[in-house]
Amino acid sequence: MTPSPRHPAPVDSGWPRLLLLCGMIVLAVASRCLPHPWNFTPLGAVALFSGATLSSRWLSIFVPLVAIFAGDLLIGMHWLMPAVYACLLFNVWLGRRLDGRRGPLAVGGSAMVGAIVFFTVTNFASWVLFYEHTLAGLASCYTLAIPYFGQTLGGDLFFSAVLFGSLALIESRVPQLRSVADPVSQ
Tens digits of residue pLDDT in 145-171: 999 999 999 999 999 999 999 999 999
Indicate the DSSP class of residue 102: -
User: What is the DSSP annotation of 40-61?
Assistant: --SHHHHHHHHHHH-SSHHHHH
* 80 membership: H or E segment, kind and range: none
Rounded distance between C-alpha atoms, residue 68 and residue 38, angstroms: 17
Tens digits of residue pLDDT in 100-123: 899 999 999 999 999 999 999 999
Please check whether the domain covering 14-176 is classified as CATH 1.10.1760.
yes
Domain boundaries, given as residue ranges, for the chain: 14-176
Quickly state the pLDDT bin for 81 (edges 50, 70, 90): very high
Tens digits of residue pLDDT in 44-65: 999 999 999 988 899 999 888 8
pTM of the model: 0.85
User: Which one-letter amino acid corresponds to residue 117?
Assistant: V
| CA distances to 12, 25, 31, 76, 168 from 71, in Å | 25, 12, 9, 8, 26
